[in-house]
Structures are given as structure tokens and as C-alpha cells.
Amino acid sequence: MTFCHQCSDIFIDINRTIYCTLTQSHQIIAKSLINDWNYLTTVAGTGTPDSTATTLRNPFGIFVDTSINLYVADCGNDRIQLFLFGELTGMTVAGSGSLNQTISLSCPTSLVLDDDNYLFIVDSNNHRVIRQYLNGFRCIIGCSNSSGFAFNQLLQPWSIQFDSYGNIFVTDNGNKRIQKFDLLINNVASVTTTLSVNTTTGMSTTTTSTTKPLCTTLVTFDHIPGQTSTIGVVPNNYESLNWNNTYYLNVSTVPLSGYTKALGSSSYVATNQGGGVVRISSVNGTSFSFDSILIVAAWRDNLIWTINLYHLGVVQVSGSFNLNTANSTSINCGSCTNIDMLMMTATGGTPVNGLAQNGTEFGFSNLCVSLGY
């Protein structure tokens, strides 16, 4: 099979039809791989660059679901178009012109659909990856509002793929590397991001991995000895850890807050009372791994939350994330082992009208660690 133009992306559906993105011609074409006599068919775009329901402008990534519906990353129009099977008129499902525009796009270049029919989109000029949820879209990778080379940053990312375990691989084009992000599944309606990254730059690869059980200790802040029905200090040796400036809080006592979004198994979360620094360390210097945490801003949106993982006083892993009061964030790390102290701080943010306070407190629960690793 020969095309007159270069395909910037291809996709083969379950019926063994191959789709080709003709970016410069502003079209998507298709042809059966089973019938050699089958002619090339235009399945999206008219060949004229425009932003109508029947046209595209410099499209790139494509995805076809099991119902043979076509999704197109319409880069030049800053949107994702859905063309139902057999239809040449598309509908905007994300970005500019969407009826449920919960996020803006700037030249989306790649997209995939997961098993729950939620979209994952490479938002290239915004240097991030966003994910669809039940009520809209949110950033999950590169959410620092700036491009860069750090483990939680991207620079002009280009494409995205999943492996069979649900891990995400991103072509980080501007940084000339492939990034792997471990995506852990949880049952909380929250934003999920990651701290664990395998990086390939040029011909050299650096991978940090270890064989260990996952989350041998799940800290939910329930059933603390002497726990009151309101607020109190998390005592040392609780769950074999020492706690500094860590308080437990019954969220029913502060309904006008973000604390409720970090609930794990009961009514309690932990917090940095007064906005101070939280330090969690092992008892007797025993090493442990940090696996995951569920966290939310209490009073401010765009709260800058930073986590540092130490071993013998030296930072081993560090990351900063933007927290909001409306949704919790699940921070996961598949290879953060051999640490002896975890430190969390929060700064900045914008007070939210209608909430009871406006400090830099955050709430967290479902802290997963594995002692002895």
C-alpha cells in the first residue's frame, strides 16, 4: 500500500483497517488490510484547513475504539474530535469548542483510550498529559505549569502509549527521552500522578527498580490509641513510625474544607496543623519505602505541595505538585526505597471563597509504606 503523503500517525482497528493521518492535507484516510482491492477512503477532514465540524487543521494522533469510532488529535484547532463510525461530521469532546470544556488544549498530538473509555491526551504545547474523568479532564503528568527536564516535567511531549500493566510511556520530544510513569489504580475519584520515572536519553538508559511487596503498611489514621472525636496529635510509634507536626482530624468537624476529599476508610485524615512541615521517620532508623499517598489542599487552590524523601540526611527523591480543594491527588512511587524520613511542606496557593479558613494546611490519608525496604 502506498500513500502520496507521509503518515504522521497510523492506527489499525479490530477489523484490520489501517488509518493514516495526512497532517499537511488536513485529513485522515483508511484502507482495509484484508482486501487488496479496497480503495483509500477519507474518514475525516475535507482537505481544507478549518475549524468546522467536518474539517481539521494539522491533525496528528488518532485512535479507533472497538465500535470503530475515530478520535483525532486536531492540533491546529486545539481540540479532540470524535467521528462516529461512518460519519464525516465530528463532535468536539475536549478542548476548544467542547460543550464540557473543563480544560484547554494547545496542539494535542497524541491520544489513547483506556479500558473504561477514558481519554489520555498529550497536550504538547502545554507540556503535559491530561486524563478524562467522569466529570471532565485533569492533568496527571507535567502539572507544574512549566516545562523542564525534572522527573515530573515534560518539554513538547509528542506521543503516549500504555503497556499491558497500565504504565504510561511518553515521548518527551523536547528533552530527547522516553519517560515511563507507573500508573497505580485506586478506587478514589481523584487525580493520579507518579513519582517513579524511568528515563531513556539518547542511547543510555537509567532505570531504578527493586523487587519488594507493595504497601505492607497502609496508614489510614483510624483507631489511634486514645483518639478523640475531633483533633489530636498522631503519636510516635503509631504504625511503627515517628510523626512530627502531624495531627489527626475528624473531617466532619470541618465540612467547609477540602479535607473530605482525602478520606480513606473512615472519618479521619492527617494534617499539618498550622501549615507547618510534616516529618515522618522510621523507628530506630529502619529503612522503608514510600509507595503512595492520597492528599488534598484544605483551604487553597493551586497549593504547592512538596515531598522530599531522605536517607541519612540526603534527599533521594523530591517532587512538587499543585493541589486543589475540589479533588484529591494520589501520588505513587514504584521505586522509592531505602529511605528513613519523609518530609512534606506546602506554600502559596489562592484562598477559596466560602471555605472556613485560608491557611496552607493539607490533608492526607492512605499513606502506603513498606517497612524494611
How are beta strands 329-339 and 191-194 bridged, if at all? parallel
Give me the amino acid identity at 175.
Answer: N
Q: Domain locations in the chain? A: 10-190, 217-371
Q: 169 pLDDT exceeds 70?
A: yes
- Record the pTM: 0.54
Name the architecture of domain 10-190. 6 Propeller (2.120)
CA distance readout (Å), 254 to 88, 178, 188, 204, 261: 52, 43, 20, 51, 12
**Residue showing cell 485529513:** 27
pLDDT, tens digit, for every residue of 103-162?
899 999 999 998 888 899 999 999 999 988 776 788 888 877 778 887 778 999 999 998
Q: What angle do CA 314, 233, 321 make, to 5 degrees?
A: 45
Grid coordinates of 355: 471555605
Question: 217-371: which CATH topology?
Answer: Jelly Rolls (2.60.120)
- Helix (H, G, I), strand (E, B), or coil: what is residue 165? coil
Grid coordinates of 160: 503516549
Q: What is the pLDDT at residue 267? A: 85
Beta-carbon contacts of 32 under 8 Å, excluding residues fewer than 6 positions away, are: 15, 16, 17, 18, 38
| The domains spanning 10-190 and 217-371 adopt the same CATH topology | no
pLDDT, tens digit, for every residue of 342-369?
999 999 999 999 988 889 999 999 898 9
Q: What is the mean pLDDT of residues 183-199?
A: 39
